[in-house]
C-alpha cells in the first residue's frame, strides 16, 4: 500500500480525519457548524468541515457519500465524487442533499462524508480524425440489454 503525507490545518473542534479500520479506504469528514442545520426534503446545502489541506501533486481528494447517512437519513453528496485538487488551499466543504421525504438534521461533529485520496494521471489530449474500432463501437447506455 502506498502512503502519502497530507498537511492539514484544522479550524474546527473536530478530530482530524482518520481511517476507522486498517482496511478502510476513506476517512470521515465531520460537520464544522455551530448550530444544527436542517435539510428539508430535496434541499441541498454546503456544509463546512473546517479543514484546509495540502494534497501532493499527482493526487486528488475525493469527497464521497457515507453509506450510513444514505441508508439512515436519505442524505447523500451531490457532485459525487467531489474533487479536491492538489493546488486548492481553501476550506473543504461538502454539498449534501436530503433525498428523503422528511427534514433531516445535521449536528456539529456529525460524520457527513468520506474522503479518499487517489493517485491521478495527467492525460495528453491528441486531436485525430478517426479512432481505432472495437467490438463495442459506439454502443452506449443499455446497449448490452442489461437494465
DSSP assignment of 36-50, as one string? -EEE-TT-EEEEEEE
- Spatial distance between the Cα atoms of 9 and 134, rounded to a whole number of angstroms: 48
pLDDT of residue 11: 98
Residues 6 or more apart whose CB falls under 8 angstroms from that of 119 comprise 2, 58, 59
Cell of 57: 501533486
pLDDT of residue 146: 59
Asked if 45 contacts 37 with a C-beta cutoff of 8 angstroms, the reply is yes
Asked if 11 contacts 91 with a C-beta cutoff of 8 angstroms, the reply is yes
Give the CA angle between residues 108, 112, 117 to the nearest 5°. Answer: 125
pLDDT of residue 147: 52
Give the pLDDT confidence of 76-87 residue by residue, as tens digits: 999 999 999 999
Give the pLDDT confidence of 26-50 residue by residue, as tens digits: 999 999 999 999 999 999 999 999 9
DSSP secondary structure letter of residue 3: -
Residues 6 or more apart whose CB falls under 8 angstroms from that of 9 comprise 51, 52, 53
Where residue 75 falls among pLDDT bands split at 50, 70, 90? very high
CATH architecture assignment, domain 7-119: Distorted Sandwich (2.70)
Amino acid at each position: 500500500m502506498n502512503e502519502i503525507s497530507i498537511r492539514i490545518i484544522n479550524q474546527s473542534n473536530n478530530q482530524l480525519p482518520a481511517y476507522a479500520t486498517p482496511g478502510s479506504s476513506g476517512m470521515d469528514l465531520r460537520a464544522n457548524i455551530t448550530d444544527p442545520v436542517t435539510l428539508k426534503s430535496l434541499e441541498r446545502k454546503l456544509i463546512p468541515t473546517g479543514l484546509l489541506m495540502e494534497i501532493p501533486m499527482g493526487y486528488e481528494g475525493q469527497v464521497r457519500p457515507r453509506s450510513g447517512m444514505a441508508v439512515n437519513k436519505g442524505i447523500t453528496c451531490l457532485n459525487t465524487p467531489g474533487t479536491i485538487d492538489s493546488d486548492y488551499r481553501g476550506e473543504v466543504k461538502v454539498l449534501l442533499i436530503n433525498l428523503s421525504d422528511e427534514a433531516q438534521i445535521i449536528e456539529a461533529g456529525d460524520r457527513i462524508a468520506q474522503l479518499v485520496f487517489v493517485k491521478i494521471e495527467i492525460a495528453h489530449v491528441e486531436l485525430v480524425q478517426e479512432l481505432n474500432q472495437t467490438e463495442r463501437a459506439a454502443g452506449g447506455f443499455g446497449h448490452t440489454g442489461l437494465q
